């Protein structure tokens, strides 16, 4: 069992398959892009599987593939198929562009739930946020997933003056679409020019929705390790949720750890420190003690940013990587 000093059992691993991406979302990817490094510095498909097996032997029950954009990796389908042979629930977070190409692999691998990022329902705006022109592709792939009866979660990072005027439009979208929308508070990472004046809090989001929908807003039950507060609106097919990583963290029940594409374990999304598992594995060392030690040393809240005030000191999060290279 992988456990920390606060008795939190870690059974959920997020693996980043690549730092590369076919979008350039301004809140995730630094404007200048990220430094491209030789392929040899990243986990091969075989190493991903070998790592995953070690984590599974330590009690991991769920693996989520992420990135960068996990599906841009040429061997993504093989990795998915091989991971599907392990006794874990397999999930994926994707920007949606390559979903149609991977649908058969998702089905044959037993993936049932897919998270797709969509920050605007307006084509021009989506394309401007992501600095590319894939709105039609992403939305048609979301429809494809729904047609094929996948459980579809939609991630939208809410940013003031960018898309906060669409909060109620997104909720209206769930009336006839069986999607599970998740509004995410804007988080700080290296190079994303974060400051909380651009953030929209959980409270502001729910207040806007309640103003529009009043008593029709229904609070749903949240799962134990759920990072989201879940809601629905009466008679809507879909649901919505708010992920309040900044104003109201959900660290008490955290069961998550991350493996970056270059094989480093991060015990928390906001942790400034990492442990290099890939080099150790390549040197033939046992990586189990490294995993256990990394998680044991995990801070109780947001990598040590215990209060909201800590966000006003950039040195607290500038040691962290950009989100595209952590694996969201």
User: What are the residues binding ligand SAM (CB under 6 A)?
Assistant: 21, 27-28, 66-67, 69, 93-95, 117, 155, 157, 184, 186-187, 189, 192, 323-324, 328
Select the binding partner of residue 187 from ligand SF4, ligand SAM, none (C-beta < 5 to 8 A, by kind). ligand SAM
262 binds, among ligand SF4, ligand SAM, none (CB under 5 to 8 A by kind): none
Of 212 and 248, CB closest to ligand SAM: 248
CA distance 4 to 300: 9
Closer of 68 and 281 to ligand SF4 (Cβ): 68
What character string, x for contact with ligand SF4 (CB under 6 A) and - otherwise, covers 37-66? ------------------------------
Write down the residue that tokens 């919505």 correspond to. Answer: 240
119 contributes a contact to ligand SF4 by CB under 6 A: no
Residue nearest to ligand SAM (CB): 328
For the bound state, the minimum distance from the C-beta of residue 161 to ligand SF4, rounded and expressed in Å, comes to: 19
Interface segment toward ligand SF4; rule CB under 6 A; list 35-43, 140-148, 209-217, 268-276 = 268-276
Q: Which of 118, 142, 251, 261 binds ligand SF4 (CB under 6 A)?
A: 251
Contacting residue, 18, 109, 117, 275, with ligand SF4 by CB under 6 A: 117
Identify whether the C-beta of residue 160 lies closer than 8 Å to the C-beta of residue 199.
yes
Is residue 302 a contact point for ligand SF4 (CB under 6 A)?
Answer: yes
Residues 56 and 1 sit within 8 Å (Cβ to Cβ): no
Which residue pairs, CB below 8 angstroms and at least 24 apart, start in 165-173?
166/120, 166/121, 166/122, 167/200, 167/205, 167/208, 167/209, 168/208, 168/209, 168/212, 168/213, 169/121, 170/121, 170/240, 171/209, 171/212, 171/213, 171/233, 171/236, 171/240, 173/121, 173/238
CB atoms within 10 A of CB 203: 12
Residue 238 CA to residue 176 CA, distance in Å, equals 7
User: Quick check: 241 binds ligand SF4 (CB under 6 A)?
Assistant: no
Question: Tokens at residue 74, please?
Answer: 């040429």
Q: Please count the other Cβ atoms lying within 10 Å of the Cβ belonging to residue 147.
A: 8
Q: Which does 189 bind (CB under 5 to 8 A by kind): ligand SF4, ligand SAM, none?
A: ligand SAM
Query: Residue 66 Cβ, how far from ligand SAM at the closest point, in Å?
Result: 5
Distance, in Å, from the CA atom of 220 to the CA atom of 202, rounded to the nearest integer, reads 16
């Amino acid at each position: 069992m992988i456990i920390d000093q606060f008795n939190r059992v870690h059974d959920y691993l997020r693996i980043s398959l690549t730092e590369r991406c076919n979008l350039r979302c301004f809140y995730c990817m630094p404007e200048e892009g990220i430094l491209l490094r030789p392929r040899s510095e990243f986990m091969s498909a075989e190493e991903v599987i070998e790592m995953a097996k070690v984590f599974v032997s330590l009690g991991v029950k769920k693996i989520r593939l992420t990135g960068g954009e996990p599906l841009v990796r040429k061997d993504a389908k093989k990795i998915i198929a091989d991971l599907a042979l392990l006794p874990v629930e397999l999930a994926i977070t994707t920007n949606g562009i390559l979903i149609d190409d991977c649908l058969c692999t998702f089905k044959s691998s037993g993936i049932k739930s897919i998270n797709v990022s969509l920050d605007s329902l307006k084509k021009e705006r989506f394309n401007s946020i992501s600095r590319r022109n894939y709105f039609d592709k992403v939305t048609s792939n979301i429809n494809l997933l729904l047609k094929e009866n996948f459980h579809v979660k939609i991630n939208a990072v809410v940013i003031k003056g960018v898309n906060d005027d669409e909060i109620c439009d997104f909720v209206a979208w769930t009336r006839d679409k069986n999607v599970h929308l998740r509004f995410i508070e804007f988080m700080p990472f290296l190079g994303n020019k974060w400051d909380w004046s651009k953030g929209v809090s959980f409270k502001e989001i729910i207040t806007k929705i309640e103003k529009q929908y009043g008593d029709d807003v229904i609070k749903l039950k949240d799962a134990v390790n759920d990072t989201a507060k879940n809601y629905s609106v009466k008679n809507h097919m879909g649901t919505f949720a708010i992920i309040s990583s900044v104003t109201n963290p959900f660290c008490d029940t955290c069961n998550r750890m991350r493996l970056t594409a270059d094989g480093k374990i991060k015990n928390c999304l906001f942790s400034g420190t990492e442990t290099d598992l890939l080099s150790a594995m390549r040197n033939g060392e046992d990586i189990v003690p490294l995993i256990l030690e990394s998680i044991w040393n995990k801070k109780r809240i947001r990598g040590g940013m215990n209060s909201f005030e800590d966000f006003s000191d950039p040195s607290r999060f500038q040691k962290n990587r950009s989100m595209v290279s952590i694996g969201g």
